Amino acid sequence: MPTRTQSTVVAVFRDTSDAQAAAEELEASGFSEDEIYVNSGDRTEIAREEGSSRHEGGITGWFKRVFGSDDESDRPYYENAVSSGHVMLSVDTNEENVDAAADILNRYSPLDVHREGEGSGSAATTNADTTVSGATTTRTGETDQSRAIPVVEEDLRVGKRTVLRGGVRVYSRVVEQPVEETVNLQEERVRVERQPVNRPVKESDFRTGRDEVIEVEEYAEEPVVSKEARVVEEVRVNKEATQRKETVRDKVRRTEVEVENLGEGSAKGSRSDIDDDFRSHFTNYYGTTGDTYENYAPAYRYGYDMASDPRYQGRGFNEVESDLRTDYARRYPNSTWERIKGSVRYGWDKVTGRSSSASTSR
């Protein structure tokens, strides 16, 4: 069975009216009345439903459920606030609705229990304290208030694979075709002729008249066929490998986390004020270039944010310029460092409070 994250949002108010008003708005916003817990001094209440078994054990059981039995970081502040007569309100919800619940509670001016514990006697902040539980609902009130923002950066990896693009298939087979050749043949025929003669007999005629056999043979030529196989051509199949270079272009993503200091007296001020200041600096130093502020705004904000980065705390701009230049070129490959360097320096000096002629160089 999958687990579900359970969160508890806790706020302390000066009086019951503020706490009840906050509880009513929570219910009107869709939070169940069974999820809302209100405590005033030694009196324990659940908004509009008393005696719920979920809150058995009184205020002591409630503190154990939310903060645990061994948590010594925040629990004493809330115990002191309750013992001083202040009203404490908590609402149990899932992680997705934590911010909505905190926003509602903040509208009713909750106390900063940490300053109240020091005896300041005034509400130094209007932020409701949020306590988030672990991965299961067996223990609702873990005291870990940290929230992690994963910073993801993609790397481009280019490999190679072999694909079939074509080829040649060679067939070899024996075929027959008719041929003809003309040859002259000689043939002999024996012809016997009788010719009548009338002449005197000669002595030689008697010698030839003896018994004699004459044999004449006839000869004829006939074609004699023989075949001789000869190699008249060779077909060779081979491959020729060539190499080529191809540039692979793609886009990789990375997570950019902007840290803005919200404390009083912060050198940063509000985001809109800073942006107005950047625009004013752009107008004074780059207004005649024909360029637009939108092309320089990333450089201003980059220098502004990097000055607050823990990696560069306590280091001067000249000391880290090489690192900033490399990082900026990776984020904005179409920009030229020498062109926007002055804007980056101005954003940096806005946070560090330093002034330098380099911040206004063009």
pLDDT for res 69:
58
When pLDDT is cut at 50, 70 and 90, the band that residue 152 belongs to is: confident
Query: Rounded mean pLDDT of 31-40?
Result: 84
The continuous run of DSSP H or E covering 129 comes out as strand 129-132
Percent of the chain at pLDDT > 90 equals 17
More confident call, 357 vs 26: 26
Q: Which residues of 35-58 are buried (b: 16+ CB within 10 A; e: fewer)?
A: bbbbbbeeebbbbeeeeeeebeee
When pLDDT is cut at 50, 70 and 90, the band that residue 40 belongs to is: low
pLDDT for res 68:
63
pLDDT for res 164:
86
Most confident of 183-197, 203-217, 246-260: 183-197
Percent of the chain at pLDDT > 70 equals 73
More confident call, 214 vs 55: 214
pLDDT for res 346:
93
More confident call, 338 vs 125: 338
The length of the chain is 362
Q: How many CB atoms lie within 10 A of CB 9?
A: 26
Query: Rounded mean pLDDT of 127-134?
Result: 39
pLDDT for res 354:
61
Contact call for residues 349 and 304 (beta carbons, < 8 A): no
Which of these CATH numbers, 3.50.50, 2.30.29, 3.30.70, 3.30.1490, describes 6-132?
3.30.70
Looking at the predicted structure, is the pLDDT value of residue 20 above 80?
Answer: yes
pLDDT for res 70:
54
pLDDT digits (tens, 9 = 90+) for 251-285: 888 887 766 655 444 444 566 788 888 989 999 88
Q: H helices within the chain, ranges in order?
A: 16-28, 58-67, 75-83, 98-106, 113-116, 203-208, 271-286, 293-306, 317-331, 337-352
When pLDDT is cut at 50, 70 and 90, the band that residue 334 belongs to is: confident
Q: Which two tokens stand for residue 4?
A: 């579900």
Q: Which amino acid type is present at position 322?
A: S
Half-sphere exposure of 9 toward its Cβ, with a 13 Å CA cutoff? 24
More confident call, 56 vs 160: 160
When pLDDT is cut at 50, 70 and 90, the band that residue 345 belongs to is: very high
Domain ranges of the chain: 6-132, 271-360
> Closest Cα to residue 16, out of 77, 76, 89, 84?
89
When pLDDT is cut at 50, 70 and 90, the band that residue 209 belongs to is: low
**Alpha carbon separation from 140 to 2, 126, 144 (Å, rounded):** 17, 24, 12
Looking at the predicted structure, is the pLDDT value of residue 359 above 50?
Answer: no
- Ramachandran bin of 290, using left for φ above 0, alpha for ψ from -120 to 50, beta for the remaining angles: left
Helix 271-286 and helix 337-352, axial crossing angle in degrees, nearest 10 = 140
Contact call for residues 23 and 38 (beta carbons, < 8 A): yes
**Alpha carbon separation from 156 to 35, 94, 328, 329 (Å, rounded):** 48, 37, 17, 16
pLDDT for res 95:
82
Instruction: Specify the DSSP class assigned to residue 57.
Output: T
Average pLDDT of the chain is: 77
Looking at the DSSP bridge assignments, the partners of residue 88 are 12, 39
Looking at the predicted structure, is the pLDDT value of residue 124 above 80?
Answer: no
Query: Rounded mean pLDDT of 57-84?
Result: 70
Of the candidate ranges 4-8, 46-50, 88-92, 335-339, the one whose mean pLDDT is the lowest: 46-50
Query: Rounded mean pLDDT of 139-155?
Result: 66
When pLDDT is cut at 50, 70 and 90, the band that residue 50 belongs to is: very low
Contact call for residues 258 and 347 (beta carbons, < 8 A): no
Residues 6+ apart with CB under 8 A from 101: 9, 26, 31, 91, 93, 128
pLDDT for res 48:
36
Looking at the predicted structure, is the pLDDT value of residue 352 above 80?
Answer: yes
